[in-house]
Chain A
Amino acid sequence: MKAVLRSRLTPLLALALVMALVPMIAPTSFHLRVAALVWIFALAALGLTILMGYAGQVSLGHAGFLGIGAYAVAIGPARLGLDPILCLVLGAVLAGLVAYGVGRPILKLKGYYLAIATLGFGVIVALVLHSETELTGGPDGMAVSRITLFGWRVTGALNWYWVSAGALLVGALLALNIAASPTGRALRALHDSEVAAAGAGIDVSAKKLAAFVVAAVYAAVAGGLLAAMNGLITPEAASFSHSVELVAMVIIGGLGSVFGTVLGAAFLVVLPQTLTAFQEYEQAVLGLLIMVFMIFLPQGIVPSLRALIEERLP
């Protein structure tokens, strides 16, 4: 039993099973859309899981990369006449390059100093998207043309559900592989102590940078999918509050746990939909729930549950 719990493939199979079940029980395409949003935001948050959970580096500007990916898919086809799928890839490459350029200097910073530096990066990206009206459409955002996959025009909630689910599954598989690879082990070592990791011969700055770039690529792909699914993107996508939301997904679900990240994303995407019943108390309840969860499950949902289950098993 413990072996199953620890197995790398268990969360992946569980995730695939949930993905297969949802369309069977979802009554309308609204529910499918919410589920698709969960998969997309989980994908973005997965990148952060690699950065925060594995490498122990915090980013409070990650929505900036989501914005880069989203606007690549919006701007490429509309202004340059490029294929949307190509733009999704280009957006991911661009985000990776930006992460490399920005990460090289700022990843030398530690703890809260890194937090303010990444926050500043996010604010600047959001400001550019907001201000360069000619290119980005400004605060009201811009329309995104439909994605065509081998002649198949991706529209409708169910299609987007499968596209986003597939993307997340691939992303989760890669994340789990990274975790188990030598790089993953090196990252975990530096999570515990950078000085010790360096002492053990790990190229600390290169590994950190790699995690940062990977995290940016995840967010950019998620942003591209979000833009293409919605058909419209606004600078709100890159906002500080979105960055905080992504971090919250990672922490609420459980730092470093792939399945926890998905659960965290589900928590923060689905919750506002259920809280509408509270009307004006919605925000207060949301804040209260986040506090209660963090106070009573400081490790996050999945690690806390896992500990509970392992305790009860012989």
Chain B
Amino acid sequence: MDTPARLRPMLRAAAIMLATAVAGPALTGTALAADPIRIGSVVSATGPAAFLGDPEAKTLKLYVDELNKKGGLLGRPVELVLYDDGGDANKARTFATRLVEDDKVVAMVGGTSTGATMAMIPVFEEAGIPFVSLAGGIEIIEPVRAFVFKTPHTDKTACQKIFEDMKARGITKIGLISGTDGFGKSMRNQCLKVIGQYGITVVADESYGATDSDMTPQLNKIKNTAGVEAVLNPGFGQGPAIVTRNYAQLGIKLPLYQSHGVASKSFIELAGPAAEGVRLPAPAILIGDKLAAVDPQKPVVAEYKTSYEKATGQPVSTFGGYGYDGIQLVARAIASAKSADPKKIRDALEATKGYVGVTGIYTFTPTDHLGLGTDSFRMLEIRGGDWALEAPAR
């Protein structure tokens, strides 16, 4: 017999590949004997968005361990099934299918970028499994989808906060320099939508690529544009740090506004002395120690900061905070639903009222699956190499 001999190695190869594909997924968290409650996650732990996905992944692992130390949920251990999409929406989609079909998760916390989140939404909507996204885009929750929630502020809220501050300082003409990554583009669009309400106009509109290492040409154009009174830089990653440095290099004296996309201590380190005087909207987590003693977020923020920095040796960022709020919201929902049934978890999530997180205070409703207002942002200014709290818009 000729053919079988020819086919055998191929079939064997195919069989091995399938067998290995079936083999165990990455399990994290304490492996306990009882039937665990499985929570899924897909984040960009590597790739261009790794600086977001990495703290998210670390936070999720940390707090699932924490949950298990306290005896898990509903008397059952909690298991985190975490995958890395490497920043590729196609891979994210595949992992989402895997979480639903193969790992049988009851809830999902993840989706580092808006693109990855949008790619995964249909999978969880069809399966009827609640999905708490960690990405910023407004289209994730507008229109409202039954099973999709998110923890980060939308870019629109950040724009409003910034424009409120500009208006209070009497600024009416600004220059924009935006990153062309998903975050920068989305925020630029949202800002342009609401800017009219504050009587502010954009007189210079520049952009830079996500991996660019020199933004002096663009800033030079803004510098030479007549009438600019302040500059706003929607973007995240290393771009804003380079913009800030080039801004100082060109000796531009106008106020510089950054977005919540740079809200981590590493921005101050990367931008160096050039960061002095930069203003940005940011959640409470960055200024935990400067919050008023009566601030309800103070203890939550302090606890997260201590735990995260002890476990990872790295400074906290808002991005890890999104993960913290995501996993806490799901854990609370499972506890209050007294069930690990995805539909009941969803209902309990939507009924969340006044959950005090590190990003803000969340109240979900059937028409609002974000549940944060502009008051969850604080206007900060960088002074003496540290964050300083600005008084609310004067």
Chain A residues with a Cβ under 8 A of chain B: 1, 4-5, 10, 14, 17-18, 21-22, 25-31, 33-34, 37, 130-131, 133, 138-141, 143, 157, 226, 230-234, 236-237, 259, 263, 266, 270, 272-274, 276-280, 282-283, 305, 309
Contacts and interface: CB of A to CB of B under 8 A. Distances in A.
A236 B98 contact: no
Interface in B251-288: none
A31 B22 contact: yes
B172 interface: no
Interface stretch (B1-9, B31-39, B196-204, B315-323): B1-9
A276 B101 contact: no
B181 interface: yes
A139 B211 CA distance: 14
6 A-B pairs with the lowest CB-CB distances in the bound complex, closest first: A30-B101, A139-B182, A28-B101, A274-B20, A140-B115, A234-B89
A70 to B, nearest CB: 10
B30 interface: no
Contacts of A232: 89, 93, 115, 118-119, 122
A230, A234, A283, most chain B CB atoms within 10 A: A234
Contact of A305 (B9, B18, B26, B180): B9
5 contacts: A21-B11, A25-B15, A34-B21, A139-B181, A270-B21
B213 interface: no
A209 to B, nearest CB: 30
B83 interface: yes
B90 A5 contact: no
A46 B324 CA distance: 45
Given A37-B94, A274-B21, A130 B11 contact: no
B101 A277 contact: no
Nearest to A301: B13
A131 B182 CA distance: 10
A231 B20 contact: no
Given A139-B180, A139-B185, A236 B90 contact: yes
Interface string B49-85: 0000000000000000000000000000000000110
B112 to A, nearest CB: 12
Contacts of A130: 180
Contacts of A274: 17, 20-21, 23
A18 B13 CA distance: 11
Interface of B: 2-3, 5-7, 9-11, 13-15, 17-18, 20-26, 28, 45-46, 83-84, 86-91, 93-94, 97-98, 100-102, 113-115, 118-119, 122, 137, 139, 180-182, 185-186, 189
B98 A4 contact: no
A305 B12 CA distance: 13
B118 A141 contact: yes
Contact of B94 (A17, A138, A273, A305): A273
A280 B115 contact: no
A150 B20 CA distance: 37
A35 to B, nearest CB: 8
A143 B140 CA distance: 12
A10 B22 contact: no
Nearest to B45: A280
Nearest to B207: A131
Contact of B102 (A30, A270, A277, A305): A30
Given A27-B22, A230-B93, A4 B182 contact: no
Contacts of B3: 4, 10
Contacts of B114: 140
Contacts of B83: 276
A272 B91 CA distance: 9
Contacts of B185: 133, 138-140
B182 A28 contact: no
A29 B28 CA distance: 24
A309 B94 CA distance: 36
B7 A14 contact: yes
A26 B14 CA distance: 11
Contacts of A266: 14, 17
Nearest to B24: A277
B18 A277 contact: no
Contacts of B90: 37, 226, 230, 234, 236-237
Nearest to A127: B209
A280 B82 CA distance: 11
Contacts of B186: 138, 140
Nearest to B81: A276
A9 to B, nearest CB: 11
B97 A157 contact: yes
Given A31-B22, A277-B24, A18 B14 contact: yes
Contacts of A131: 180
B10 A14 contact: yes
Nearest to B120: A232
Contacts of B94: 30, 33-34, 37, 273
A236 B10 contact: no
B115 A273 contact: no
Contact of B118 (A143, A236, A237, A305): A143
Contacts of A305: 9
A164 to B, nearest CB: 14
Nearest to A272: B91
Contacts of B93: 230, 232
B31 to A, nearest CB: 14
A259 B6 CA distance: 13
A155 to B, nearest CB: 9
A230 B25 contact: no
A1 B45 contact: no
B87 A29 contact: no
A311 B181 CA distance: 53
Contacts of A230: 89-90, 93, 119
Nearest to A35: B18
Nearest to B179: A139
Contacts of A140: 113-115, 118, 137, 139, 182, 185-186
